[in-house]
Each structure stands twice: as C-alpha cells, then as structure tokens.
Amino acid sequence: MLTLSCSANAQMASLNKAKYLATLKVVSAHKMGDKDMLSDFDKLRESERFKKDLEKMVNKLDNSKPNEATNRKIMRILEQAGKEIYNELR
C-alpha cells in the first residue's frame, strides 16, 4: 500500500512539473506576440551576437544528463516560474 502511495505521489509531482513547464512555454509564446515587445523580439531575432550567445547558453544544458547541477538548477527556476504563472492565471 505504501509503495502505491509513493508511486502515485511521484507521478503527480512529475505531472505538475510538466504542467508548469507547459504553462511557461505557452504563456511565453503568447507574450512574444505582445505588440509592445514585438519590435524588440524582431531585433533580437536579427542579432547574430544574440543568437551566438543564446546558442552558447543552451549548449550548457544537456537533456541526457538531467541530474547534472546546472540542469537541476535551471529546471527548478523554470518550474518555479511556471508554477507562479499557473497560480496567478488560474
């Protein structure tokens, strides 16, 4: 009985993590269409310097090593942001 409870709790935590990340992704995509920010996003899309910097940052993340310290920290930040947005808009 205890094993089923632990398994259910782990599954729920995993679903919440996915829910918060999905919320963050959808809200981010929506806000990128904000008229006040659109010209700034266009400038960033055209900036080769920004693209290179962003690529270097993303290359520091490795989904095949999710337990690596940097990956864990980034996931905590993303989950927390997604949770805050989810709870705010709910």
Q: Give residue limits of the domains in the chain.
A: 2-89
Distance of CA 38 to the CA centre of its chain: 21
Chain segment 49-89, per-residue pLDDT in tens? 999 999 999 998 888 887 888 889 999 999 999 999 999 99
pLDDT band at residue 3 under the 50/70/90 scheme: low
Residue-level pLDDT at 1: 54
Please check the confidence at residue 7 and state whether its pLDDT lies above 80.
Answer: no
Model-level pTM? 0.78
Percent of the chain having pLDDT more than 90? Answer: 64
Residue-level pLDDT at 65: 83
Number of C-alpha atoms within 13 angstroms, CB side, residue 64?
A: 1
Buried b (16+ CB within 10 A) or exposed e, 45-57: eeeeeeeeeeeee
Please check the confidence at residue 41 and state whether its pLDDT lies above 80.
Answer: yes
